[in-house]
Structures are given as C-alpha cells and as structure tokens.
Amino acid sequence: MIIGNGKVITNDQNNTFLENGAVLIKGNLIEDVGNFGALKKAYPDEEVVDVKGRIIMPGMICAHSHIYSAYARGMSVSKSTGNFFEVLENLWWSLDKKLTLEDVRLNALTTYIESIQNGVTTLIDHHAGPNSVEGSLFTIAETAQELGIRTSLCCEVSDRDGKEITVKEIKENMDFIKACEKDDKNDMVKAMFGLHASFTLSDETLYKVKEAMEGFTNGFHVHIAEGIEDQFDSLKKYGKRVVERLHDFGILGEKTIAVHGVHINQREIEILKETDTSVVHNPESNMNNAVGVPPVVSMFKQGLRVGLGTDAYTNDMF
Ligand SMILES: [Zn+2]
C-alpha cells in the first residue's frame, strides 16, 4: 500500500522532509519512502491512499499514561487540596479504589481510541486499581489488541492500600510478565514491572519485588521525585535521595522508565545517565499538579533519553 500526496516527516537523523512524499507499506514494514509520483511509478500495482496534503509521519509514543484515570476528566475534588499529596489522596487514590474490571476495560477503550485519533500508536501505561488488581493488565491488553494499538503495561505496586493489595499487585505484574514472555512473538503487547513511587514503597516491599523479579530482565516503570514530598520522605526515612535509593535496589537500567524527575539534583541526573535509564517528561501534568518544572534542558544536554508522556491528562501529545 502507498500512502502519499502529503508532507512526509521521516523523523530520521537527517530530519528528512518531503514536500509531496509517500511511503510504501508492506505488511508491518515501511519498505520505501520517496516522492509521491516516483513511488507510484515504481510500484504501479500498489493500492494508493491519498492523504490530500496532510502530514505523514511516524506514530507518536505516549511514554507515560494512566488508563485508570480516564474517568477523572472534569471531575472536581470535594475536599480542600493544597499540595501534591492531597491531590493524590483526594482525586487519584479515591478514584482508583472504586474501579471494577469493567471500568478498567471501558477506561482502556476510551484512552486507546482517543490516542489513535490523536496519532499515538504506542502507549506505555502505569495502571492502578487496588480493588480490581487481578486480571487488570490482561483486560487492558485485550482491549489494545482489539483496537490494534501497541502498548506496554504494568501495575503500580504500592503500600498505600495495605499489604494484601501489595502482594496482589506484585503477582499481577509477574503474571503478565510471564504471559508476555510466553507470547514473545507478539510485538504489540509488552510488560514492565510497575512501581508507584519511592514514598509509597517500604524497603520490605522493594525486597519482595526484587525477589519476584529474579531471573527476569523486564524494566521497571516508576514515578520519581514528582513532588518534593518524595525527596523529603526518602531523605527522612532512608538518608538518601529517591534516585539513589532506587539505584541501590537495582531498579534503574536501560529498560527502566523513570517518570517526572521534577525534583532531582545533578548527582541523580548522573546516576540516570550512568545506568542508561529513560526519563519521561509530562509537562501538562506537572502544571496541573503544580509540582514544579523538571530540569529537562539539563537532562538533554547531558545526553539522557527523554520521552514525553501525557500522564493521562489528555490523550493528545501536542
Ligand atoms: Zn503518572
């Protein structure tokens, strides 16, 4: 199939731009890119989709979202909410407790459909829903496959809902990781191990996570220093900063996603670089939660791999 008669942005290293370009797709692969006329001539038997001057570019990757919060849009908070912790308590954590598996499925449908409509073809999600943990990742994965969007899933492990739930969350991550490993030819659905954030994870829980993950090479997906409270908590309880603490537990690495990093210092940026950990910046969310501005420019200058996420505020990357 030729998709053509549009402005092609290849997003390659040379930043190639074709004013009247086209791409040739065979199966799952883009086999050729070039001028629309030339491509039609070279492959006369191919079906042609005319985009009429629109932009043809690689699909966007939303590197951090929370499908579980699809119902939150426009929802107001009933109690007074003056800091980041209260935003979590009064909005996100009162919402995630109520979710059933059917809600999770509907949230996933809404999020994925809107993502596709906005040019997102890969969504990396960080799921939470303490009272419907079991099977939640499988429910989301089914929805993604139904719609044909690429996705990476995990479930936030946290101590915030009590020990029983923590155990269930660890199990759901591991069940899903194992299922994806069995189905390793499927390049549309992948698994990570989800951790909420340092301040809701005791050392005891992190040791349990390490034990469960022994022998597995999947990356972790974790919020780091989104609010200053995360750093205060880590310094007070463990005498080290958030990135140092997670590094000591072997959480960082080239497959791990460290989300936000609003309140990290120079040494923490260096640890992320040394471990080749990816960082995800979520500007809209940072503004909404009034947590501050991460040192993104500095991260770029120091060669960190930085992705963009919506953190589920909208599904429109732009
Ligand atoms: Zn998040």
Give pLDDT tens digits for 82-137.
888 888 888 888 888 889 999 999 999 999 999 999 999 999 999 999 999 999 99
DSSP string, the chain: -EEEEEEEE--STT--EEEEEEEEEETTEEEEEEEHHHHHHH-TTS-EEE-TT-EE-PPEEEEEE-GGGGGGTTPPPSS---SHHHHIIIIIHHHHTT--HHHHHHHHHHHHHHHHHTTEEEEEE-B--TTS-TTHHHHHHHHHHHHT-EEEE-B-B-STT-HHHHHHHHHHHHHHHHHHHHTTT--SEEE-EEEEEGGG--HHHHHHHHHHTTT--PPEEEEESSSHHHHHHHHHHHSS-HHHHHHHTT--STT-EEEE-TT--HHHHHHHHHTT-EEEE-HHHHHHHT-----HHHHHHTT--EEE--TTS-S---
Query: What is the CA(36)–ligand 1 centre distance, in A?
Result: 41
Chunk the chain into consecutive blocks of 10 residues (it has 318) and report each block's average pLDDT, rounded to whole numbers: 96 90 93 96 96 95 95 81 82 86 96 96 96 96 97 97 96 98 92 97 98 97 96 98 98 98 98 98 93 95 96 92
In the chain, what are the domains?
A: 2-56 (2.30.40.10), 60-308 (3.20.20.140)
Residue 140 CA to ligand 1 centre (angstroms): 17
pTM of whole model > 0.85?
A: yes
Predicted pLDDT of residue 91: 81
For the stretch 6-18, pLDDT in tens is: 999 998 888 889 9
The CA 289 to ligand 1 mean position distance, Å, reads 11
pLDDT the model gives residue 83? 82
Residue 220 is predicted with a pLDDT of 98
User: What's the pLDDT score for residue 88?
Assistant: 81
pLDDT at 1: 96
147 CA → ligand 1 middle, Å: 23
C-alpha of residue 39 to centroid of ligand 1, in Å = 43
